[in-house]
């Protein structure tokens, strides 16, 4: 069911509001953790794993006091820089993750992107996602919209 014009799915917007609100609460807890949580969590963004898979994998393994095997490093590289690409969510296969990383920039319209930014502005800011300034900026894949997270 469409409501309010603009081509947005009313139910998808409602779900996005709930998800982003929940994420904002979780991130606020991470920013101001209770004693029992302090030092007991690690925030990892998908983008970090895609851009620097070995470094990020080593950070995760180190956090849980493990050492990454060469086989696991090879697997991570294959899964993030393989030849494939799938538009289906949750498909686990070797793929060009850098391409998947920016797929939203070509798949969504600028008004859709602005709606996501409106509903998710707090978690996006904390996680280091820069807001898109214009349709041209979104489509310019040579420009990153990712900054250092505040966590």
Do residues 34 and 54 share a domain? no
Question: Does residue 126 fall inside a structural domain?
Answer: yes
Do residues 48 and 37 share a domain? no
| Tokens coding 17 | 């509001």
Q: What are phi and psi of 82, to 5 degrees?
A: -65, 175
Q: Which of 99, 107, 105, 111 is nearest to 129 (CA)?
A: 105
Return d(Cα 64, Cα 36) in angstroms, integer: 16
In this prediction, residue 86 has a pLDDT band, given cuts at 50, 70 and 90, of low
Do residues 48 and 83 share a domain? yes
Question: Does residue 102 fall inside a structural domain?
Answer: no
Could you list the beta-strand ranges (E) of the chain: none
The residues with which 129 forms a beta bridge, in sequence order, are 146
pLDDT value at 72 more than 70: yes
Do residues 51 and 87 share a domain? yes
Q: Which residues span the domain enclosing 81? A: 43-95
What would the mean pLDDT of 49-70 be, rounded to a whole number? 95
C-alpha 65: how far from chain center: 25
Question: Does residue 83 fall inside a structural domain?
Answer: yes
Do residues 142 and 132 share a domain? yes
pTM reported for the whole predicted model: 0.75
Q: Which whole-number Å values give the CA distances from 69 to 30, 38, 76, 77, in the listed order?
A: 29, 28, 11, 13
In this prediction, residue 29 has a pLDDT band, given cuts at 50, 70 and 90, of very high
Q: Using one digit for the tens of pLDDT, what is the confidence trace for 107-121?
A: 999 999 999 999 999
Q: Using one digit for the tens of pLDDT, what is the confidence trace for 119-149?
A: 999 999 999 999 999 999 999 988 999 999 9
First to last CA, the chain: 37
Lowest mean pLDDT among 48-57, 78-87, 89-98, 119-128: 89-98
pLDDT value, residue 1: 40
Do 113 and 119 touch, CB atoms closer than 8 A?
A: no
Question: Does residue 100 fall inside a structural domain?
Answer: no
Count the domains in the chain: 2
- What's the mean per-residue pLDDT of the chain? 85
Do residues 71 and 81 share a domain? yes
Return d(Cα 95, Cα 84) in angstroms, integer: 4
Do residues 87 and 47 share a domain? yes
| Tokens coding 10 | 């009313």
Return d(Cα 105, Cα 110) in angstroms, integer: 9
Question: Does residue 101 fall inside a structural domain?
Answer: no
Do residues 35 and 47 share a domain? no
pLDDT value, residue 8: 56
């Amino acid at each position: 069911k469409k409501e309010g014009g603009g081509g947005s799915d009313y139910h998808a917007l409602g779900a996005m509001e709930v998800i982003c609100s929940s994420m904002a609460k979780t991130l606020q807890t991470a920013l101001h953790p209770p004693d029992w949580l302090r030092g007991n969590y690690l925030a990892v963004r998908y983008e970090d794993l895609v851009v620097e898979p070995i470094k990020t994998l080593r950070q995760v393994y180190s956090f849980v006091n493990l050492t990454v095997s060469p086989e696991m490093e090879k697997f991570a590289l294959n899964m993030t820089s393989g030849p494939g690409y799938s538009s289906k969510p949750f498909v686990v296969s070797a793929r060009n993750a850098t391409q998947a990383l920016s797929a939203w920039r070509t798949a969504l319209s600028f008004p859709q992107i602005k709606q996501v930014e409106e509903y998710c502005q707090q978690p996006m800011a904390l996680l280091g996602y820069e807001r898109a300034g214009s349709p041209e900026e979104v489509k310019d894949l040579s420009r990153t919209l990712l900054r250092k997270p505040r966590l």
